């Protein structure tokens, strides 16, 4: 009996140790700023269940300075847990002059307060930032800083899919994808305009016509998706079948290897939640 109890205790410990670390989602990695305050900003990097943040501001003498929060833990739970807020200690650091001989003994790290981050909504449109430094507390809203565009990587041939995670019981199958992974083609038109085309059978095609918008490191796709006869018009807005619907893909990660994002499809009174993405195929 005692041996069984020990075994159960050991098994419980192993299961707890094997639990996946938490990570907040969407990934907040990138630069954040307040468009009304030039020179104020926040840099965030997420790795596993940790966030590392650097806050760059001006001090009471109007001199540029920065603080670091190097040990922000993400919430407990499963990987990519949506979060309301996370907090960590904020430090002021100092060290030797960059143009001289580096002396590791001259590097200091002093705790000055806390940094709290939070998404007021389940996307990366804005982030609440509150910090306390030497007794002074500041609260503001920050947005992703955008200086580039990754839409060029959305043109080409991909293998992937549009998958609904849990179709509404009263709405039936969406009917936009063949079983398993499928190949589709992405093309770019006017700036920001996108089109994806794939086949679902011998004489049936599906098309996404939409726009791509960049927000920091991530993007979003908005448009219409529909299926029709291969001899018909390739504009989904003219497709009369039941598959004609609006498509919104948020938190899109794009690189030269492919893309992925969280998809929301609305057809009539039915809303379908899923994922859309693909791996780039060789040209």
Mean pLDDT computed over 211-237: 78
Q: What is the pLDDT of residue 16?
A: 36
Q: pTM score, two decimals? A: 0.77
pLDDT for 171: 86
Strands (E), the chain: 30-33, 41-47, 50-58, 64-73, 86-94, 108-118, 127-133, 136-144, 156-164, 182-188, 193-199, 204-215, 218-229, 245-255, 258-267, 270-280
Give pLDDT tens digits for 111-141: 999 999 887 655 557 888 999 999 999 998 8
Residue 255 has pLDDT above 80, yes or no: yes
Render pLDDT for 40-76 as a digit per residue (tens, 0 to 9). Answer: 999 999 888 788 999 999 988 999 999 999 888 776 5
Calpha distance 184→31 (Å, rounded): 33
Model confidence at 2, pLDDT cuts 50, 70, 90, reads: very low
Query: Which comes out higher in pLDDT, residue 186 or 229?
Result: 186
What sections of 151-247 are H helices per DSSP? none
Q: For residues 130, 20, 280 and 212, what is the CA-based torsion angle, rounded to 10 degrees?
A: -30
Distance between CA atoms of residues 272 and 225, nearest Å: 13
pLDDT of residue 230: 60
Domains and CATH numbers, the chain: 21-144 (2.40.160), 151-280 (2.40.128)
Asked if pLDDT for residue 250 goes beyond 80, the answer is yes
Q: What is the pLDDT of residue 4?
A: 35
Residue 235 is predicted with a pLDDT of 56
- DSSP class per residue in 76-141: SSSSSB--S-EEEEEEEEE---TTS---GGG-EEEEEEEEEEE-SSSSSS-EEEEEEETTEEEEEE
Q: What is the mean pLDDT of residues 259-278?
A: 92
* Weakest mean pLDDT among 33-37, 39-43, 80-84, 254-258: 80-84
**32 pLDDT tier (thresholds 50, 70, 90):** very high
Give the mean pLDDT of 232-238.
Answer: 54
Q: Which of these ranges, 40-44, 189-193, 212-216, has the smallest mean pLDDT?
A: 189-193
The pLDDT, as a whole number, for residue 179 is 67
d(CA 213, CA 209): 14
Of 178, 176, 183, nearest to 160 (Cα)?
183
**Quick check: 131 and 114 in contact, CB under 8 A?**
yes
Of the two residues 12 and 106, the one the predictor is more confident about is 106
């Amino acid at each position: 009996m005692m041996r069984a109890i020990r075994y159960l205790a050991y098994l419980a410990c192993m299961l707890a140790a094997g639990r996946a670390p938490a990570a907040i989602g969407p990934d907040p990695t990138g630069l954040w700023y307040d468009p009304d305050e030039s020179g104020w900003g926040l840099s965030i990097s997420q790795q596993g269940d940790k966030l590392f943040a650097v806050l760059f501001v001006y001090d009471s003498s109007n001199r540029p300075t920065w603080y670091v929060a190097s040990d922000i833990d993400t919430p407990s739970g499963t990987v990519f847990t949506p979060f309301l807020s996370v907090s960590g200690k904020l430090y002021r650091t100092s060290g030797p002059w960059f143009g001289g001989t580096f002396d590791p003994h001259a590097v200091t790290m002093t705790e000055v307060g806390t940094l709290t981050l939070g998404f007021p909504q389940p996307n990366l449109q804005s982030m609440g930032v509150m910090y306390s430094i030497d007794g002074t507390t500041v609260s503001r809203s920050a947005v992703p800083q955008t200086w580039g565009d990754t839409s060029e990587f959305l043109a080409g041939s991909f293998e992937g899919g549009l998958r609904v995670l849990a179709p509404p019981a009263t709405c039936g199958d969406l009917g936009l994808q063949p079983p398993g992974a499928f190949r589709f083609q992405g093309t770019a038109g006017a700036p920001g305009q996108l089109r994806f085309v794939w086949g679902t059978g011998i004489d049936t095609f599906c098309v996404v016509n939409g726009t791509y918008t960049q927000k920091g490191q991530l993007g979003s796709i908005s448009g219409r998706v529909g299926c029709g006869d291969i001899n018909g018009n390739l504009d989904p807005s003219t497709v009369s079948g039941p598959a004609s619907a609006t498509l919104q893909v948020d938190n899109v990660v794009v690189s030269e290897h492919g893309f992925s994002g969280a998809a929301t499809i609305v057809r009539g009174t039915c809303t379908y939640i899923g994922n859309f993405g693909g791996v780039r195929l060789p040209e």
